[in-house]
């Protein structure tokens, strides 16, 4: 209450004198009416803020534009509306005081009273002048928020301090009129100002009038110039103090302000700390905008304000999983980036990558294959645990995890090195246990046995009683033969192999003995092709005749030098003759035989020249002996002469004893040709004789 009284006292000090001038001139009633219609000059006192003196100028300008206080009710209402339009608007956050001007309305003296209303304007304005102050709700602040304001009207008869003296009115013998004035006073102002205006455009009389303005105190709500804005990081918290929350808050009356009731929607919680501070904790991993509201109170009235809280995203590190792999002793482990990222998570859903796998131990070799895969090869015969490290990145942060590789123990199988053997074509080889196991070993030192030997083909295998194996390649085969066999250590079996090379050996050509036949006293001709008929070579070599030989005496063999040969048996020889000949494949030569059969032929008789002579007109008798005297037969066959004939100039008579009588013609002399046949019983040959 003390504050209110103090405020009232201050408001009393703000009352100013108002000079009102009524212009009166004696004359006819018509002139008086005209004068009544003339402008009444009203001196209006406006209490306003020290920083807003322009508002008073605007009021005076309005009075100049419409100086007449007289008129109908519509004009009076319009005058009141003008006051609302003249209300200076304040931008948000402005410190300027606000003033609302309400125009005055005039009425005749016969009216009991006249009233004027601000019509909803004048937020925060206080009633001034007269004793009839009436409250009127309405108006808005600079931001459009409804506030309570009061509009005031003066009574028809102002107070004594504000009325003209009777002497002035009576002495001037003027028509009386009642003037009602409504003033708007800004309670925020601490200064006072008196405005007087005298209209002297016509003959006038000036009357000074002084009255007081009483400003009634009313609490002003606090104001927030603008929302608060803060920024924080994801997964953090922020504490607001009273000073921070009230940074943009103010109160015209200077009341102490308190911020309270901080609220937030989803994605955060608010904790009141008991010391006037409030802590806001966004939800885990939340980022984005949070809208907070809070109340500001001056102890009487409360307004709402807001905080725009921006939660900046921060990267959350990925969460990989440790990995476990198992591999057998002497095995190889292959794993991928995808294997390592199985179970790995990232709260933001970032793409995760494996940045590297590391191993600094000595129990094996870890290889990055460069294609997102990794190979670990434990040392030979090693078993136990091996640990690797690997890094997972979300593009911003990298987190390490472990890999546990368990190398399990296994019984080692025997091993064998390369084995190679060779033999010549058409040979065989015998492989003992010692030979087959010469390159075999066993880590545990177990006794080894070779068994189940087989070949891929082109050979046969015989298992011998002493554990050895005999391999016999196929006839004339040469080349490689694959040998496979098992090696046993009593528990495990491993397959071993060996290479058997069969060296090629030249195979001799295989000629055929040849047989020819020729008749006695005939001639045999044969060729190289005749001799190679039927000859073969396993390798397909080209075969040639290297020569034909004959060392006998039953005929003559001649090499004609053109691949042909001639054999002429001795005259009248018959029987078998043997030659030799050689066939070559270019490497080796093989001999063969030629059997020539000279078949016996019955020889025809042969006869030498015969000549006889007789005298003219004589005759001659030729016996068998005479005719055959020059004849012979190789076989010694008995010969017979027959069929004797002459060429002419004679006649022939065959006698019973086989002789022939030739009688030349009478008186003929000269040569007569005699022909006859000689036969050996099989063959007949013609013989001749001359008869002179």
Tell me the domain boundaries of the chain.
223-312, 323-408, 415-503, 514-599, 606-691
- pLDDT at position 315: 86
Three-state DSSP class for 76?
helix
What is the mean predicted confidence (pLDDT) over 343-363?
94
- pLDDT at position 557: 95
The pLDDT tens digits for 254-282 are 999 999 999 998 999 999 999 999 999 99
Give the whole-angstrom CA distance, residue 399 versus residue 378: 27
* C-beta atoms surrounding 202 within 10 Å: 11
Among 63-72, 453-462, 476-485, which stretch is predicted with the lowest mean pLDDT?
63-72
- In this prediction, residue 218 has a pLDDT band, given cuts at 50, 70 and 90, of confident
Q: Residue 503 corresponds to which tokens in the numbers above? A: 């060296």
Instruction: Say which residues have a Cβ less than 8 Å from residue 142's Cβ, sequence separation at least 6.
Output: 89, 90, 91, 92, 94, 98
- pLDDT at position 259: 97
What percentage of the chain carries pLDDT values higher than 70?
Answer: 70
Type and span of the H or E element at 11: helix 2-13
The pLDDT tens digits for 86-132 are 333 434 333 433 333 333 333 343 334 433 333 333 333 333 333 33
Is residue 66 scored above 60 in pLDDT?
no
The pLDDT tens digits for 645-688 are 998 899 999 999 999 999 999 999 999 999 999 998 888 999 99
Instruction: Say which residues have a Cβ less than 8 Å from residue 230's Cβ, sequence separation at least 6.
Output: 238, 240, 307, 308, 309, 310
Give the whole-angstrom CA distance, residue 208 versus residue 18: 8
Please list the alpha-helical segments (H only) found in 194-307: 242-245
- pLDDT at position 263: 97
Residues facing residue 474 across a β-bridge: none
Is residue 438 scored above 90 in pLDDT?
yes
Among 45-49, 296-300, 511-515, which stretch is predicted with the lowest mean pLDDT?
45-49
319 secondary structure, DSSP code: B
Considering the domain 514-599 in this protein, what is its CATH number?
Answer: 2.60.40
Torsion sign (Cα): 254, 259, 265, 266: positive
What is the mean predicted confidence (pLDDT) over 593-614?
90
The number of C-alpha atoms within 13 Å of 588 and in the hemisphere containing its C-beta is: 13
Domain range 223-312, CATH class: mainly beta
The pLDDT tens digits for 394-427 are 999 999 999 999 999 887 889 999 999 999 999 9
Three-state DSSP class for 231?
strand
Q: Residue 58 corresponds to which tokens in the numbers above? A: 């605007």
What is the mean predicted confidence (pLDDT) over 608-626?
93
Three-state DSSP class for 471?
strand
| Planar angle of CA 85, 90, 95, nearest 5 degrees | 145
CATH topology of domain 415-503: Immunoglobulin-like (2.60.40)
Among 107-111, 430-434, 439-443, which stretch is predicted with the lowest mean pLDDT?
107-111
CB-count exposure of residue 200 (10 Å: 0-12, 13-18, 19+): exposed
Is residue 147 scored above 90 in pLDDT?
no
Is residue 613 scored above 50 in pLDDT?
yes
Instruction: Say which residues have a Cβ less than 8 Å from residue 147's Cβ, sequence separation at least 6.
Output: 123, 124, 139, 140, 141, 221
Helix, strand, coil % over all residues of the chain, rounded to 5:
10, 40, 50
- In this prediction, residue 538 has a pLDDT band, given cuts at 50, 70 and 90, of confident
What is the mean predicted confidence (pLDDT) over 538-542?
90
Residue bearing tokens 């009386």: 176
- pLDDT at position 209: 72
- pLDDT at position 423: 96
Q: 428, 467 in Cβ contact below 8 A? A: no
CA–CA distance from 68 to each of 22, 148, 251, 265, 402 (Å)? 11, 30, 40, 59, 98
Q: Which pairing describes strands 323-328 and 398-408: parallel, antiparallel, or unpaired?
A: parallel
CB-count exposure of residue 325 (10 Å: 0-12, 13-18, 19+): middle
Give the whole-angstrom CA distance, residue 61 versus residue 57: 6
CA–CA distance from 541 to each of 53, 369, 506, 528, 567 (Å)? 136, 56, 10, 16, 30
- pLDDT at position 604: 82
What is the mean predicted confidence (pLDDT) over 597-619?
90
Give the whole-angstrom CA distance, residue 658 versus residue 391: 141
What is the mean predicted confidence (pLDDT) over 63-92?
41
Three-state DSSP class for 668?
coil
What is the mean predicted confidence (pLDDT) over 196-220?
67
Torsion sign (Cα): 566, 570, 575, 581: negative
The per-residue DSSP string of 622-650 comes to: E-HHHHTTTEE-TT----EEEEEEESSSE
Give the whole-angstrom CA distance, residue 85 versus residue 102: 10
Task: Between 73 and 185, name the one with better pLDDT.
Answer: 185
209 secondary structure, DSSP code: -
- pLDDT at position 181: 62
- The 10 Å CB-count burial string (b at 16+, else e) for 332-361 is ebebebeebbeebebeeebebbbeebebee
What is the mean predicted confidence (pLDDT) over 334-347?
95
What is the mean predicted confidence (pLDDT) over 183-205?
53
Considering the domain 606-691 in this protein, what is its CATH number?
Answer: 2.60.40.10
- pLDDT at position 62: 52
Considering the domain 323-408 in this protein, what is its CATH number?
Answer: 2.60.40
What percentage of the chain carries pLDDT values higher than 90?
Answer: 58
- pLDDT at position 384: 93
What is the mean predicted confidence (pLDDT) over 457-482?
95
What is the mean predicted confidence (pLDDT) over 356-377?
96
- pLDDT at position 179: 60
- In this prediction, residue 363 has a pLDDT band, given cuts at 50, 70 and 90, of very high
- In this prediction, residue 5 has a pLDDT band, given cuts at 50, 70 and 90, of very low
Nearest partner of 24 among 195, 210, 208, 177, judged by Cα: 177
Same fold, 514-599 and 606-691: yes
Phi, psi of 152 (to 5 degrees): -120, 150
- pLDDT at position 634: 81
Q: Residue 251 corresponds to which tokens in the numbers above? A: 């109160």
The per-residue DSSP string of 419-454 comes to: EEEEEETT--EEE-HHHHTTTEE-TT----EEEEEE
- pLDDT at position 591: 96
Among 22-26, 119-123, 386-390, 532-536, which stretch is predicted with the lowest mean pLDDT?
119-123
What is the mean predicted confidence (pLDDT) over 421-439?
96
Q: Is the overall model pTM greater than 0.75, yes or no? A: no
Is residue 26 scored above 80 in pLDDT?
no
* C-beta atoms surrounding 8 within 10 Å: 14
What is the chain's Cα-based Rg? Answer: 79
């Amino acid at each position: 209450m003390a504050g209110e009284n103090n405020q009232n006292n201050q408001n009393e000090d703000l009352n100013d004198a108002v000079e009102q001038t009524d212009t009166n001139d004696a004359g006819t009633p018509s002139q008086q009416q005209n004068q009544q219609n003339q402008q009444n000059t009203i001196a209006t006192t406006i209490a306003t803020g020290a920083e807003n003196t322009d508002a008073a100028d605007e009021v005076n300008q309005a009075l100049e534009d419409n100086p007449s206080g007289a008129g109908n009710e519509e004009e009076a209402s319009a005058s009141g509306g003008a006051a609302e339009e003249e209300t200076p608007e304040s931008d948000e956050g402005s410190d300027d005081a606000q003033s609302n001007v309400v125009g005055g309305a005039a009425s005749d003296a016969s009216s009991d009273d006249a009233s004027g209303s601000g019509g909803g304007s004048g937020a925060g304005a206080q009633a001034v002048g007269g004793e009839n102050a009436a409250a009127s709700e309405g108006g808005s602040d600079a931001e459009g928020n409804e506030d309570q304001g009061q509009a005031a009207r003066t009574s028809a008869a102002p107070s004594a301090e504000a009325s003209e003296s009777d002497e002035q009115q009576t002495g001037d013998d003027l028509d009386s009129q009642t003037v009602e004035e409504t003033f708007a006073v800004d309670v925020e102002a601490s200064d006072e100002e008196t405005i007087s205006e005298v209209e002297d455009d016509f003959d006038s009389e000036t009357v000074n009038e002084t009255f007081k303005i009483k400003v009634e105190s009313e609490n002003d709500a606090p104001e927030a110039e603008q929302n608060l804005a803060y920024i924080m990081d994801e997964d953090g918290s922020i504490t607001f103090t009273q000073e921070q929350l009230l940074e943009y808050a103010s109160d015209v009356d200077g009341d102490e302000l308190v911020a309270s009731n901080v609220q937030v929607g989803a994605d955060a919680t608010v904790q009141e700390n008991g010391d006037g501070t409030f802590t806001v904790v966004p939800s885990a991993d939340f980022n984005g905008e949070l809208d907070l509201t809070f109340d500001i109170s001056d102890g009487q009235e409360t307004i709402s304000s807001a905080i725009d809280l921006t939660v900046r995203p921060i990267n959350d590190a990925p969460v990989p999983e440790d990995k476990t792999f198992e591999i057998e002793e002497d095995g190889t482990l292959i794993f991928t980036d995808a294997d390592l990222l199985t179970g790995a998570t990232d709260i933001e859903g970032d793409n995760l990558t494996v940045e590297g796998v590391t191993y600094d131990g000595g129990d094996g070799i870890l290889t990055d294959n460069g294609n997102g895969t990794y190979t670990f090869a434990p040392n030979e015969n090693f078993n136990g645990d091996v640990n690797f490290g690997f890094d997972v990145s979300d593009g911003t942060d990298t987190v390490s995890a472990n890999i546990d590789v368990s190398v399990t123990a296994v019984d080692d199988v025997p091993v064998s090195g390369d084995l190679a053997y060779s033999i010549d074509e058409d040979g065989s080889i015998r492989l003992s246990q010692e030979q087959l196991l010469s390159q075999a070993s066993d880590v545990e030192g177990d006794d080894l046995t070779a068994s189940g030997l087989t070949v891929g083909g082109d050979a046969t295998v015989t298992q011998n009683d002493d554990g050895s194996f005999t391999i016999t390649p196929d006839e004339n085969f040469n080349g490689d033969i694959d040998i496979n066999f098992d090696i046993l250590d009593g528990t495990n079996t491993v397959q071993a192999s060996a290479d058997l090379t069969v060296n090629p050996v030249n195979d001799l050509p295989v000629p055929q003995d040849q047989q020819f036949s020729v008749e006695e006293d005939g001639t045999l001709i044969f060729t190289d092709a005749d001799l190679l008929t039927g000859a073969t070579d396993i390798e397909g070599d080209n075969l040639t005749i290297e020569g034909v030989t004959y060392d006998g005496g039953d005929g003559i063999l001649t090499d004609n030098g053109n691949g042909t040969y001639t054999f002429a048996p001795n005259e009248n020889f018959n029987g078998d003759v043997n030659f030799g000949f050689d066939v070559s494949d270019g490497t080796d030569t093989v001999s063969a035989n030629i059997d020539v059969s000279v078949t016996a032929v019955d020889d025809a008789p042969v006869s030498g020249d015969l000549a006889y002579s007789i005298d003219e007109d004589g005759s001659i008798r030729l016996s068998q002996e005479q005719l055959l005297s020059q004849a012979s037969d190789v076989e010694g066959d008995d010969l017979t002469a027959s069929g004797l004939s002459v060429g002419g100039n004679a006649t022939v008579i065959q006698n019973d004893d086989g002789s022939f009588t030739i009688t030349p013609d009478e008186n003929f002399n000269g040569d007569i040709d005699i022909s006859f046949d000689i036969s050996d019983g099989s063959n007949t040959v013609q013989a001749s004789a001359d008869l002179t």
